[in-house]
Structures are given as structure tokens and as C-alpha cells.
Chains A and B, each alone.
Chain A
Amino acid sequence: MSFHCIVCIKQVPHPGHFSKINLDPVTGAIRRAGIPSVLNPLDKNVIEEALCIRERFSGKVTAITMGPPQAREVLEEAYALGADEGVLLCDLTLAGADSLATAYTLAKGIQKIGKYDLVLCGNESIDGATQQVGPQLAELLGIPHVTHVVEVNWLNEREAVVKRAIEYGYLKVKVKMPAVMTVVKSINTCRLPSVLDIMGAAGKEVQKWGCCDINGATECVGLPGSPTRVIGIVQVESKRKREMLKGSEEEMAKSAVKRLREYGVI
């Protein structure tokens, strides 16, 4: 039996240029002009996990992403790392999607791809960081999901015990395939592509599908399909009260404790 793993990946602004990103005060949209784009860093771990599963069970890895034409670049990176096939969901009608419309579009794309055993996503993207797409995708596909995955122990090709991070510990859950898993960075260490891998990835064919190709309902994709509305943007200002304490170290420590108690901090 061969195992088909679909990895959902995303092109995001380069983290090194985050300080240059600003928001449109009217629409609330992120202004990305002039900011280079990269593969969401966590998605490398997603691809790595899929490659490990392929090495274990054989089969194939399909990478899927939604975005503008240049989002093809992240599929090339997936190819370089070892993905077998790439799908780009690209259409003007898909623009402006929130997490729900994104999950809907990805679900439609995945359904068009056909049979699959596992859908792997990053727990969050470095830009939006909603953590919503994975669970929403699972709901739309009608399959179980596990989030914050740090370890997968396969019982067989149809079943795995998954360790997921929760506050103050871990939770182990048994999940049957097909399922959606969203992984965190500590799940694995990513491999690097070789020069030949990179050269092989360039120009490799990518399936490009628009809204019609995936039988998407226009009211469910892009801006019309996005119930999330940005109603305001607030610039967070950090204001700190500063107070210099005087005296010996012991006196200053006692004063600090006293003042912190007065402020109700301790």
C-alpha cells in the first residue's frame, strides 16, 4: 500500500523584513509591497514530516498552496525538499481570503486531488498566526484533526498515536487515517536540499487550479467567503513607568518588593 500525504504550505513575508510591514489604516489589509516572500518557516517541518512518512510507508507527497502566481516559489521549495507533486490554487477570486475561506479553498483543492491518507499543516503561519486553518480544513473535509503535534508514533498505516502539546504537558491521542494534523517546530529537524535537488525543482510542473477547476462556490472563496472583518487597527504603545531606587543593595531590594506590593504585582 502506498501512503498519500498532502502538505498545505504557505508563502509569507520574509521574517527579516517584518519591521517594514504596515497595515492599511482603511482596509486593515497587510501592505506587503517590496517585501520579499518565503516559505512559512514551520512548513519546512511539515514537509519534513511528510517525507519521513513516505520513507516509512512509501507513497507520495503532494504540496498544495493558495496564493498569487509567485506562490509557485514555495512549491519549488517543496519540490527541492522532495515533494512529488505540487498544486497552486491561484485565481483573482481567491484573493482576500480569511482563514475560513482559505480552508474552504484548500478543502476543495484537496478533494480534487483525490484519495489521500493524511493532510499535514503547520500549526500556524508566521504572518497571520490564527491556528484556525488546520481545524477548519478538517471540519470541511469531515475528518478528525489533531493540533500542536510534536510526535507521531505509527501503529500501522491506518492508525497513529499522536503526542500533542498542551499547556503544562502533553496529551497522547489515537487517531485513524485519514486525518488532519497540524505540527509544531519541535516535531523534527528539517533536511536541507542539495544543489541537484534545487536544480531539479526549477521548472518542474505545477498544477495550477482556479476557483472553477476545484468547483468552488464563488460566495465561499476570497473576500466574499470571509466572515472576518477588520473593524479597526490599534497601534500598541508600550509605556513604562520608571523609578530609580537608591540605597544599598539590600535597601533597594526591600524597596522594590514594597513598591511591587503597592502596585499589586506581587
Chain B
Amino acid sequence: MDFTFSRPHEMLRSMVREYAEKEVAPKWESYAQEGDEFPCETLSRCGQLGLIGLLVPKKYGGSEMGYLARMIAIEEISKVYAGLGANLRGWSLVPHLLTTAGTEEQKEKYLPALCRGEIQGSIATTEATSGSDFGAWPVEVTTDGNDYIINCRKVMISRSTVSDVFGILVKGEKGYSTFLIEKNMPGVQTGHREKLISCTSRNSPTGDLVITNCRVSKDYLVGPEGKGIGIALSTIGGAGRTGGAGVCLGIAEASFDIALKYSKERIIYGKPLHDLQSIKFMLGDMATRIECAKFLSYSVSWMQDQGRKSAELNKETAMAKLYASETAMSNTLKAIEILGGYGTAPEFGLIPRLKSALDMIAAAGSNNTLRRNIGDAVVA
């Protein structure tokens, strides 16, 4: 088995780390402030650097560098600011949806602008009344001649107020279908904005997407009618969950680094803090969890790069996100404990990381949903 990264992957990591440390680190606190002004410079800069189109073919403006490259990019940015890592994860979902299931016309129309960061997209699947319980969804799309009429309310939509296009999953007479909806179409509105722990920040506007009598032609159908669940879940699992694992990996590593540095500098009883066995045990646990999370995350990305379909990797993507998410939580809490009274001091940056880790428990499939998916796979 060869666990070494390729030279391009190493160069990518170096480039993204430099971007994050030099350009994101000085500004992240401003991005995390409450407000409505979305930091568009991060979108355009990530587009300029080619970080949004890592899964998109070159002919549509991407680089097709692959899933492992995307994992590395999200991980490195999330070490500095998990909010931007989460956005980078989100920005590549509609491109992934179109790349895997879109028509040639849809790809040509949207992908280059999405990859350049000129427009952004969000995936909108969570139905207002019953969430992931697809069977309980009301009928949301009907046909009228050659057109479709869409009526739905989707909730907890990341960047709901600033996205230009939405990949939506709706229930219709022929089952579930996926559509691409533009924000300026008649009947499309953004509704209530959530006031959850980090959703009030200018970086993470999250809320409702309300679609009322929106008429679209077949040109906006992504993939075959009635096959929407497979198409949407392919993107949510294949790109959403792995991206979530990358965000969590970055949080876990950054928290560990903060704790390790502090434990070396803090002298207690005449020795560095890490000489206390209880602290060393915690550092050992944190480092071990990081390596396990890395293995799960990198290996599933590598399998995707070998051509394995997302549908074949449901268990592996779920495991990666579940374990990385729990590692992010565990490591931030341990780091806070190691820093003692300074654990919640703003200058050490652990509380924002804890908030991001909390967010990631629910993102891209809640951890308990993932547990159930993994359980289903192993008992099948």
C-alpha cells in the first residue's frame, strides 16, 4: 500500500495553506461577525485559485484534480477558518450535481461561472415539514403541458440569501426529481433566516428557500424525471459528506495544534504542561483520532478518484464524516480542557472551532442518520 501523496497534491496543500494563512487568517474574524454582507471576495478568490472546480472537467472551467485534492483544500482552509472551509465544500456541490447528472447545455451555461466564483450555488433538499423522511413529503411539482410547476419550502439552506442557483430535490407525480432553479425566477424567494449558533454570521447566511408556482421547462430538469433521489444523494454523499469530513478534519487538527503549543509553553510545577500524564493522555487521544479521521477521509476520496461511484461508497462516506465530525467535537473540547481558564478566551480561537464542530454534527446528514446508514450497510 502506498500512502504517499502525489507531488501535485503536496503542492496543492502548500498553496492552499499559504492562501489560508496569508489571506484568510487576517480577516476571518470579520467574516465571522454578525451581518448580512456576504464576503464575496472569498468566493471570487477561491474561484481564481481553482478551488471550486476541483471536481469539474477542464472543458467546463474546472481542473478535474479530484476528490482527494478537494479534501486537502477543504481541510487546509478549515484549519484556519472552518466557516470558509464549509463554504468551499458547499460551493462545489452544484458543480458536482451538474457534472454528474446535468445536460450538456446546463454544464456549458452554469459550470464555468460557478468554477470561477462569479456565481454560487446551493443544494436545497431538506423539506420543511419532514426533512429527510422523503416518503412524508407533500407533492411539490406538477406538470402543465411541457412545463413543470414547482411549489415547495426548503429549510436550512446554506447561503440561502446569496446563492444564484439552487439544485433542488422535489417530490412529484412520477417520484422525486432534481431541478436547477435560478434565484431570479418568478416565484423564487428566500424566507426566514436562521439564528442558529453560526448562521447569523455574514459568512453563513442559512435559511428557507420558498418556491411558489415557479414554472420551469424541461431544460431545468437535472437527470431523468423520477430519479432525483439517487442523483441528489450522489452529490450529498459523494461531495457533501466527504467535504464535511474535510471541514471537521481541519477543525480537529487546528484544535490539537493549539493545545500542543500551549502545553509546550505553559510551565507548571517547573515542567511543561504536557509532562503531566493526564495532559499527555489527552494529546495522545487527540492525535490518534486525527490519524483515524484522516485515514477514513483520504481513503474514501482516493476510492472516488479511482472511479468508484458515490452510490457504492455510502458506507465509507458516512463513516468518514461521522468519525471526523466526532473527532472535531472531541478535540475542541479536549483542547479547551488543556488550556484551562484560557480555553474559552477569544485569542486562542477554540470557541469558534467548537461552534463549527457543532454545526457539522448536523450538516450533510446528521451523525445519527449516518450511523443508521452505516448500520444498514453492515447488516445488509
A residues with CB within 8 A of B: 38, 73, 76-77, 80, 192-196, 198-199, 201-202
Contacts and interface: CB of A to CB of B under 8 A. Distances in A.
B101 interface: no
27 contacts: A38-B14, A73-B7, A76-B11, A77-B11, A80-B15, A192-B15, A192-B18, A193-B11, A193-B15, A194-B48, A194-B49, A194-B50, A195-B49, A195-B50, A195-B51, A195-B53, A195-B54, A195-B63, A195-B65, A195-B69, A196-B50, A198-B11, A198-B15, A201-B8, A201-B11, A202-B6, A202-B7
B256 to A, nearest CB: 15
Given A76-B7, A202-B11, 14 more contacts: A77-B11, A80-B11, A193-B11, A194-B50, A195-B15, A195-B53, A195-B63, A195-B69, A196-B58, A196-B63, A198-B8, A198-B11, A199-B63, A201-B11
A141 to B, nearest CB: 31
B48 A199 contact: no
Contacts of B58: 196
A77 B15 CA distance: 10
Main secondary structure of the interface of A (DSSP, over half): helix
Nearest to B64: A199
A76 B14 CA distance: 13
Contacts of A199: 8, 63, 65
B12 A195 contact: yes
Contacts of A202: 6-8, 11
A199 B18 CA distance: 17
A70 to B, nearest CB: 10
Interface of B: 6-8, 11-12, 14-15, 18-19, 48-51, 53-54, 58, 63, 65, 69
Contacts, number: 42
A28 B8 CA distance: 35
A73 to B, nearest CB: 7
Contacts of B7: 73, 76, 202
Contacts of B51: 195
**Interface-central residue, B8, B51, B58, B65, by most chain A CB under 10 Å:** B8
A80 B19 CA distance: 15
Contacts of A73: 7
B67 to A, nearest CB: 14
A76 B10 CA distance: 11
Specify which of A38, A77, A196, A202 lies most central, judged by the most chain B CB atoms within 10 Å of its CB. Answer: A196
A201 B8 CA distance: 8
B261 to A, nearest CB: 12
Contacts of A77: 11
Contacts of A195: 12, 15, 49-51, 53-54, 63, 65, 69
A193 B49 CA distance: 7
Nearest to A73: B7
The 10 closest A-B pairs by CB, nearest first: A195-B50, A194-B50, A195-B63, A202-B8, A198-B11, A194-B49, A196-B63, A198-B8, A192-B15, A196-B50
- Most interface-central of B11, B65, B69 (chain A CB within 10 A): B11
Contacts of B54: 195
Nearest to B23: A192
A118 to B, nearest CB: 26
B7 to A, nearest CB: 6
Contacts of B69: 195
Contacts of B8: 198-199, 201-202
Nearest to B7: A202
Contacts of A76: 7, 11
Nearest to B19: A192
A154 B18 CA distance: 30
B187 to A, nearest CB: 37
A80 B48 CA distance: 15
Contacts of A194: 48-50
Contacts of A38: 14
A76 B7 CA distance: 9
A31 B63 CA distance: 39
A235 B167 CA distance: 64
A11 B352 CA distance: 37
Contacts of B49: 192, 194-195
* Residue among A80, A192, A194, A198 with most chain B CB within 10 A: A198
